[in-house]
Amino acid sequence: MDLGLKGWKVLITGGSKGIGLACARSFLAEGARVALVSRSQANLDSAKKSLGEVYTIAADLTNPEGAAAMVERVENEFGPIDVLVNSAGAAKRTDADELTPAAWRAGMDAKYFSYINVIDPLIKRMGKRGKGAVINVIGSGGKVASPTHLAGGAANAALLLATAGLAYAYASKNVRVVGVSPGVTRTERVAEGLKAEAKRANVSIEQAEKQMVARLPMGRPAEPNEIADIVVFAASERGRYLNGANISTDGAASHVVV
């Protein structure tokens, strides 16, 4: 299926690893031009080496001024952005007994504000141009609470509401906003989360992984490219009536009607 993305300019935050990197590959395969953002220049260099011709820029997106400056520079040097994919930031996994107000705040900075700080300046530009799509890679932790992911899950839940609300606010300006919420996916972040789960359950990391897989209806985690396929479709004009949707992409792990 031709998704009509040839020549589109796509900005991907958290684009140097995991789902963000998989999204970059998928957009490039569709003929889009891709810009990647990450805190780590080394990770960006590695991603560029594997992807080929992409624009890269290092920035700390938890800083609103830094995020706004990044958007300004990208649009000046790379061009007006057609699609923003937010995949940066993840709250540290912390057991409930070890949470503090500072940990809750850090979770919001890491996940919620690292998205909002980029969305805010860019969606306003898209609105003025009368075109654009924002795809937020959020996570199932915003719908299903976990004792080791409460701060990050709360940030995810806030992003679900922001996604729906911004879609409604900008629909008349031909700007779409869609949320994609993966469940367990084979990424470095999930591997880090297993360490926290293993500690809480007092089991080995290997045993924690076996228990995690045993709970998955499909018997395996998602691969990053499987999530990327959904992101790319949602960003394209083929997915235009998904506007405002928050799509669970967890392989039926959350088997509820929402």
Query: Which residues in the chain land under pLDDT 70?
Result: 1, 191, 258
Domain annotation covers residue 188: no
Q: What is the pLDDT of residues 185-237, one digit of tens each?
A: 888 777 677 777 777 778 888 887 888 888 889 999 999 999 999 999 999 99
Q: What is the CATH number of the domain that holds 82?
A: 3.40.50.720
d(Cα 257, Cα 234) in Å, to the nearest integer?
A: 21
Domain annotation covers residue 198: no
Segments forming the whole domain that contains residue 236? 9-183+224-248
pLDDT at 206: 84
pLDDT at 129: 98
Number of domains in the chain: 1
Domain annotation covers residue 161: yes
Is the Cβ–Cβ distance between 177 and 170 less than 8 Å?
A: yes
Burial class (CB in 10 A: 0-12, 13-18, 19+), 129: middle
Domain annotation covers residue 62: yes
Q: Which residue has the tokens 């080791």?
A: 148
Domain annotation covers residue 71: yes
First to last CA, the chain: 29
pLDDT at 258: 61
Domain annotation covers residue 211: no
Domain annotation covers residue 1: no
Domain annotation covers residue 24: yes
